[in-house]
Structure 1
Amino acid sequence: MDFDFLNPVNENLLDEISNLDKQSFGANIKIHTAEAGLPEMDNIQVAIIGVKENRRSVKRGELLNFDKLRSALYSLFPGNWHINIADLGDIEKGAEVEDTYFALQSLVAQLVKKDVIPVILGGSQDLIYAQYRAYDTLDQMVNLVNIDSKFDLGDADNPISNESFVGKIVINQPYNLFNYSCVGYQTYFNSQDEIELMERLFFDAYRLGEISSDIAQIEPVMRDANLVGIDLGALNAAAFGEGLHASPNGFDGKEICALARYSGISDKVSSFGIFEYDSRSGAAGNMLIAQVIWYFIEGVNYRTNENTLSAKKEFIRYQVPVDDDILVFFKSPVSGRWWIEIPYLANVDTKLKRHTLLPCSEEDYLEACNQVIPERWYKAKRKNEV
């Protein structure tokens, strides 16, 4: 792997680690240092990366520094985990923003191919574009989940920014995007044109209030994701403390940590990013982000590997006739989780080349028994037909 563009973790932090409890997070991960260089990546499952890029932010903050965030993370105690973690240091800003994109894209692609999950600590959220483009070489359709108060579709004809990167993902070749889900959007931050565009593209949008009243409904959405990004602007100001994120409404600390854990426990999520970090964030904000990372890793540790052919052979199959369709559901006898089959359409140039299982909930199955077609199944089927 070529990681020459990564800078080591600040030496001052290494002095802090030497004073930490021997069971702390910082004392039990491999760290890129100036003296020892990059850690060996054999048997690493999760790699932390900072990206000091925010030039495409509409509200650009100060120069980025992740030392306070790392200090908060290192001070935590890991759970009873059986995975190995590395902190690879930081990608500095390139001469041009596109240089930073290229470095992040190539790094994420290399890590994902090695079955290492990158946890990206970002500047501006347009970095998700580079995270997404890393999948160009992986020969697969991509499901993107964005935890955000805004859709970030923007005007695709204008230069990319942290509020328009999704539009660029939709229109730029190669076309790898199968589904985009925005979790926690707030209507007053999004134009009616964007809301209608989300509907026309059969993308999924979940309002903040809808999720806060039943956060478990997002578990199937995360289970179907390949990459997940969090805009810290999706948090409310009370949860985050000082910094650029001053909206009174948003996810609280427990909710964002639950969403991070759902992301981690998904067998399909192969990269995870936290964006719109501001170096002026106070102790509360840094500690919350550290705990979000902690919960993501906790989820990774408890993956059940049900996204395999051998596991699917053990699933219990249910057929439910609804109108002119026969919906086929599957239930795992191990985890109790549910899936619904999206049929393969041989007579169209489909994006899906075989029968595909879409994660769903038991409630979807029960509603189908009452002749109600699950909305996510309908949207996935329509996208398959386009």
Structure 2
Amino acid sequence: MEFDFLKPIDGETLAVLKTFSAQQLASKVLFHTQDHFPDLNKITIAVIGVVENRGNARATTTVDLCAIRKELYGMFPGNWDASIADLGDILAGNSTSDTYFALRKVTAALIKCKVVPIVIGGSQDLTYALYRAYDELEQMVNLVAIDSKFDFGKEDDGELATSYLTKMIIDEPNNLFNYCNIGYQTYYNSQEEIDLIEKLFFDGYRLGEISNNIALAEPVFRDADIVSLDLNAVKSSDSGNFTTFAPNGFNGKEICSLSRYAGISDKVSIFGLFNHNSTIQESILVAQIIWYFIEGFHYRSNEYPFGTRDSYIKYIVPIEDEVLVFYKSDKTDRWWIEIPFISNVNNKLKRNTLLPCSYDEYLGACNQEIPERWWKAQRKNVV
């Protein structure tokens, strides 16, 4: 049974949670204890810890998620109706491969039960296990990483947390349709890595771009299956992480806004937070990030790819040798652009025939500017 990999919440943490008031989140959440495992048929969101950081050779502390739980469940919920459960922790296996296997099995089972896992972990190479959870679903996967680096390291350098993206691209079966990095800092990435992002038709947004206009990230999250957040993308003055010092990065407000965008996305089915350094200060921020993801989840509108196109206004824009087709939602005023489906391409790509976009991209098309993300998606559809 997949859920045998999960260790119940420890008694000390449960004792603290029982002291919280009936209005706090602790009284609204079902917990995996020694005597009880929550009924997944009644659950919409599941919190899971992964006590594994061997993929990060620079990790100096063990993974301790107790402080996050105390901070998170001591908060007051919004106007929420989703059933939330904390399923406990996956412990580190004899090898990282063992931990990957356990995490892959647990998350795959949750997705099949239509439960959205929030995974709190150690090293970010655990993202690879989340990606592999989709193998059984036979679908292409879009990954969005909030990270200061692209993580294109060499697999044999012993630093799995900075090379997991390479592993995703190389290993079979290759189900990665798109990767998008939000918040990369150029001086942490070689020019060869930046060029490779372009060559693979992946997307990257610099920290300054998103900080100047955070709304740029919303369409990106709308097309994501997995969101992987490296907590080192937050500057140390806001995260309290002075072990891995980051003078620049997202501030607390920005990272919570990005988390809310991820929650609002109808398509995001896994949200992971990694490289937690187990300090009390960072635990407070992590708890707030998770709170905002759950808050965003409650504003999901179940639009494309789950709804129909009947409630959309269609706009046709002739441009150069192309005819671009845009759709605007009557419900949320959000925009999509159509990617022509190529019949000889793997059928798993059919679900990507509409690409989320922004109103500004529609205006740009009206001025004969082809949206860059449309061009890249079109190229991947053909190649």
Does the residue aligned with 1:4 lie in a helix, a strand or coil?
A: helix
CA contact (8 A) 2:313 2:328 kept: yes
**Superposition deviation, residue 42 in structure 1:** 1.9
Shift of 1:269: 0.2
TM-score, length-scaled by structure 1: 0.96
Query: How far off its partner does 1:33 sit?
Result: 1.2
Instruction: Give 2:140's aligned residue.
Output: 141
Kept in 2: contact 1:58–1:163 (CA 8 A): no
Counterpart Cα distance in 1 of 2:146 and 2:219: 14
Q: Is the aligned partner of 1:23 residue 2:28?
A: no
**What residue number does 2:354 align with?**
357
Taking a change above 3 Å as real, the CA distance of residues 315 and 65 of structure 1, as seen in their structure-2 partners, is same
Do 1:235 and 1:245's aligned partners in 2 also have CA atoms closer than 8 Å? no
Instruction: Give the drift of 1:5.
Output: 1.4
Aligned length: 383
Q: How far 1:348 moved relative to its partner?
A: 5.5
Match of residue 315 from structure 2? 318
**Structure 1 position 235, deviation (Å):** 0.3
State the SS of the aligned residue for 1:298: helix
User: Structure 2, unaligned stretches of length 5 or more?
Assistant: none
- Superposition deviation, residue 160 in structure 1: 6.1
The one-character-per-residue Cα deviations of 1:20-39 (angstroms, maximum 9, x if unpaired) are 111111111000112x2311
* Aligned counterpart for 2:283 among listed residues 281, 286, 289: 286
The 8 Å contact of residues 317 and 323 in structure 2, kept in 1 or not, is answered as yes
Structure 1 match to 2:365: 368
Match for residue 150 of structure 1? 149
Residues in 1 aligned to 2:309 and 2:270: alpha-carbon distance in whole angstroms: 23
Q: 1:363 and 1:357, CA in 2 relative to 1: closer, same or farther beyond 3 A?
A: same
Shift of 1:218: 0.4
Which stretch of the first structure deviates more once superposed, 300-309 or 134-143? 300-309
Counterpart in the other structure of 2:2: 2
RMSD between superposed Cα atoms in Å: 1.5
Question: Residues of 2 paired with 1:310 and 1:54: CA distance?
Answer: 39
- Greater mean deviation of Cα atoms: 293-302 or 348-357: 348-357
8 Å contact from structure 1 (residues 69, 289) kept in 2? yes
Shift in alpha-carbon separation, 1:186–1:82, aligned structure 2, 3 A: same
| Closer, same or farther: CA 15–215 of 1 in aligned 2, 3 Å | same
For normalisation by structure 2, the TM-score amounts to 0.97
- Does the 8 Å contact 1:236/1:245 carry over to 2? no
Letter in 1 for 2:238: A
Aligned-partner Cα distance in 2 for 1:22–1:312: 42
Q: CA deviation at 1:323?
A: 0.1
Q: For 2:124 and 2:29, locate their aligned partners in 1 and report how far apart those are by CA, in whole Å.
A: 27
User: Which residue number in structure 2 is paired with residue 256 of structure 1?
Assistant: 255
1:235-246 equivalences under 5 Å are 235-246=234-245
Q: Which residue number in structure 1 is paired with residue 212 of structure 2? A: 213
Letter in 2 for 1:250: G
Cα distance change of structure 1 residues 246 and 352 upon mapping to structure 2, 3 Å threshold: same
3-state SS, counterpart of residue 3 of structure 1: helix
Match of 1:261, SS? helix
Percent of aligned pairs with the same amino acid: 53
In 1, Cα distance between equivalents of 2:354 and 2:285: 34
Name the CA shift for 1:47/1:243 in 2 (closer, same or farther; >3 Å): farther
Match of 2:77 in 1: 78
Q: CA deviation at 1:190?
A: 0.5
Q: What's the offset of the Cα at 1:346?
A: 2.7
Please state whether the residue corresponding to 2:272 is helix, strand or coil. strand
Once residues 220 and 126 of structure 1 are traced to their aligned partners in structure 2, the CA distance between those partners, rounded to angstroms, is 25
1:337 and 2:334 are equivalent in the alignment: yes
What residue identity is the alignment partner of 2:40?
M
Deviations 1:211-263 (A, max 9, x none): 00000010000000000000000000111114433111000000000000000
Q: Whole-Å Cα distance in 2 between the matches of residues 157 and 326 of structure 1?
A: 46
Q: Deviation of residue 313 (structure 1)? A: 2.1
Correspondence for 1:177: 176
- Contact residue 156 and residue 171 of structure 1 kept, 8 A: no
**Residue 138 of structure 2 contacts residue 348 of structure 2 at CA under 8 Å; is this kept in 1?**
no
| Aligned residue in 2 for 1:55 | 54
